[in-house]
Amino acid sequence: MSPLHICLLFSSALFCIGLVGALARSNTILVLLGIELMLNAANINFIAFWRYGPNHADGTGIIFVLFSIAVAAAEAAVGLALVIAIYRHRQTIRLQEANTLKG
């Protein structure tokens, strides 16, 4: 079992944990946490493929991940702000109840 396989199995596990968290929980913050986990699983994949790939001298994986983290941070900030706004508005953060945008 090569180190790459181990990394991939790890990231898959992390992704599944995140997915289950996002699907199963009804608290919006926890759903966001799950999504962050899935995102990080993808980041691990980037790092792994870079580190064990053919040309790891040019640092492309690191750059991708740094971007991704920055974007995720921004997304989390916006997401949390939305959650707070929803809470203020409706006194709840249950995801099932935030369904005003249905068709």
Partner 1 sequence: MIISAQHLWLIPALPLLAAGIGALTPRGGRSLSAGAAIAAMVAAFILSCLALRTALIDPAAHQTFNFAWFDLGHGAVRLGFLLDPLTAFMCVMVTFVGALIFIFSTGYMKDDANFKQFFCFLSLFAAAMLGLLVANSLLLLFICWELVGLASYLLIGFWFHKPSAAAAAKKAFITTRIGDLGFLFGILWLYDARGTLLFFDGGHGVLEAASLSAMAGTTLSCGLALSTAIGLLIFCGAVGKSGQFPLHVWLPDAMEGPTPVSALIHAATMVAAGVFLIARVYPLMSADQVLASVPVHALTVVAFIGGITALMGACIAVAQNDIKRVLAFSTVSQLGYMMLALGVGSWVAAIFHLLTHAFFKALLFLGAGSVIHAAHHEQDMRSLGGLRGPMKTTFATFAIGMMALAGVPFLFSGFWSKEAILHAALEWDVSILPLIMGLAAVVLTAFYMTRLVAEVFFGKARSHAAEHAHESPATMTIPLVILAACAIALGFLGTPAFPWLQAKLLGEAEVHGHSLLVGAGLMGLSIVLVALGLGAGWAIYGRKLRQSATAKDPLETASPPLFAALAARLGFDELYAATVGRANLAFGALSAGFDRYVLGGTISFLTRFAHFTGVVSLENDESGLNAGFNATSEKLRGAGQSYSKAQTGDAHGYLRVLALAFVVLVLLVVLGGGR
Residue choice 2, 55, 91, 96 for contact with partner 1 (CB under 8 A):
96
Residue choice 3, 26, 27, 70 for contact with partner 1 (CB under 8 A):
26
Residue choice 22, 37, 65, 72 for contact with partner 1 (CB under 8 A):
22
The distance of closest approach from Cβ of residue 66 to partner 1 in the complex, given in angstroms and rounded to an integer, is: 25
The angle at the Cα of 34, spanning 51 to 8, to the nearest 5 degrees, equals: 25
CB 21 within 8 A of CB 88: no
The distance of closest approach from Cβ of residue 99 to partner 1 in the complex, given in angstroms and rounded to an integer, is: 3
CB 32 within 8 A of CB 79: yes
| Burial group, residue 2, by CB count within 10 angstroms (0-12, 13-18, 19+) | exposed
- Is 33 among the residues that bind partner 1 (CB under 8 A)? no
- Is 27 among the residues that bind partner 1 (CB under 8 A)? no
- Is 83 among the residues that bind partner 1 (CB under 8 A)? no
| Burial group, residue 28, by CB count within 10 angstroms (0-12, 13-18, 19+) | buried
- Is 19 among the residues that bind partner 1 (CB under 8 A)? yes
49, β-bridge pairs: none
Question: Which residues are at the interface with partner 1 (CB under 8 A)?
Answer: 19, 22-23, 26, 31, 95-96, 98-103
